[in-house]
Amino acid sequence: MLLRTFGWSFGITAAGLALAGVLWGWKGLAIVAILSVLEISLSFDNAVINAGILRKMNAFWQKMFLTIGVLIAVFGMRLVFPIIIVAITAKLSPWEAVRVAINDHDRYEALVTGAHPAIAAFGGMFLLMIFLDFIFEEREITWLGWLEKPLAKVGKLDMLSVVVALVALLVAATTVATGVPLHGGHGTIDKGETVLLAGVGGLLTYLIVGGVSSFFEERLEDDDEDGADDEDGAEAGGAEPVAAKSGNGVSTGQVAGLAGKAAFFMFLYLEVIDASFSFDGVVGAFAVSNDIFEIALGLGIGAMYIRSLTVFLVRKGTLDDYVYLEHGAHYAIGALAVILLVTIKYDVSEVITGLVGVVLIAASYWSSVVRNRRLGEDSGQPDGDKDDDKAEVASGV
């Protein structure tokens, strides 16, 4: 199970470190290894969130996430995206931005660092919306009931999460964004307008991608319910069950196309989440190296492990067994969103960012273990017997 899930990650790690050693020597190998660990530590909560969404998708789209999605994560977000940001913010042509990234490492670092306020505002607002929609939603199982239950009642107010997010953005734009230090420490600059625009962009991206995905998902559920009702009616009348029709007059044999649309937007949603998580890693990597290829290789190896961990969580049904893990991951997302907004002006160590996520995930995991033990004692069945009886969850990955 472990080798089958993490086999590709192990292989790519070996190949990547060997390539780094050949191209850049022992120093380059060490830098790539450090960047890989940095990416994994910063994105562990990303894997939990990914697993919660990936388990809703069919086998085809799960595999798409693990193939095309990996290419987007490794090459798109860790290699191409920073160059695009440099081209836009510095008003350079794409080819000039590539030339700077390859030949002028110091200038490339300065340009990416200069674009950080916009990157942090976009990613921070997107992640903040994920956290707020989770914390304001009423759910049967609560981790911190004293906090989540009152917030769920308040969350019944329409569009409350959008209002809270916009207030947070306004506060950030009028406080931390007003005196952003220039790269190298030579003076400050007002980035309030940039932060506002980028933050609204992150908010709109969340609403559009998440909203469209939810729309198609609800339509798919409605079609499934209609199909089940038609089959029950046919059986009650003594007739053979017939294929149910969707709203477009298409049989349920073709409803998979509608599921494909829902899964497609979930796929986009997952990629934007990954992008938001990768922002701090890409910028923080410059503390270790300013070579674009060392950064891309190191963070890319780390991204592979996050994908493998996502698959592991889905296959093992971990989120069903440890019910507070998803809560802990969302609290970690909320903390990361706040940290991203704070880093518009202030430096926050990647160690702190990573530790916050790890501590919250670990705390939610331990709470889940305690809950399972308590339920096991109440039912009179030891936890070990439950684990023995539990089969691996079937999935498409």
- How confident is residue 143, by pLDDT bands cut at 50, 70 and 90? very high
Find the range with the poorest average confidence among 127-131, 136-140, 378-382: 378-382
Residue 396 has pLDDT above 60, yes or no: no
C-alpha dist (Å) from residue 9 to 27, 132, 150: 22, 33, 42
Residue 336 has pLDDT above 80, yes or no: yes
Q: What does the pLDDT read at residue 172?
A: 94
Q: What does the pLDDT read at residue 292?
A: 85
- How confident is residue 226, by pLDDT bands cut at 50, 70 and 90? low
Residue 190 has pLDDT above 60, yes or no: yes
In single-letter form, the type of residue at position 304 comes to: M
Digit-coded pLDDT (tens) for 73-123: 777 877 888 888 888 877 888 899 899 988 888 888 888 888 889 888 998
Q: Work out the mean pLDDT of the chain and round it to a whole number.
A: 80
Cβ neighbours for 128, distance < 8 A, ≥ 6 positions apart? 165, 168, 334, 337, 338, 341
- How confident is residue 308, by pLDDT bands cut at 50, 70 and 90? confident
What's the rounded Cα separation, in Å, for the pair 330 and 360? 9
Query: What are residue 180's phi and psi, to 5 degrees?
Result: -75, 125
Find the range with the poorest average confidence among 112-116, 186-190, 286-290: 286-290
C-alpha dist (Å) from residue 128 to 16, 31, 47, 329: 34, 31, 17, 13
Percent of the chain with pLDDT over 70: 82
Pairing of strands 188-189, 180-181: antiparallel
- How confident is residue 397, by pLDDT bands cut at 50, 70 and 90? low
**116-135 vs 255-284: helix axis angle to the nearest 10?**
130
Q: What does the pLDDT read at residue 150?
A: 93
Look up the pTM and report it: 0.77
CA-closest candidate to residue 262, choices 223, 227, 317, 231: 223
What's the rounded Cα separation, in Å, for the pair 285 and 369? 35
Residue with tokens 């913010």: 89
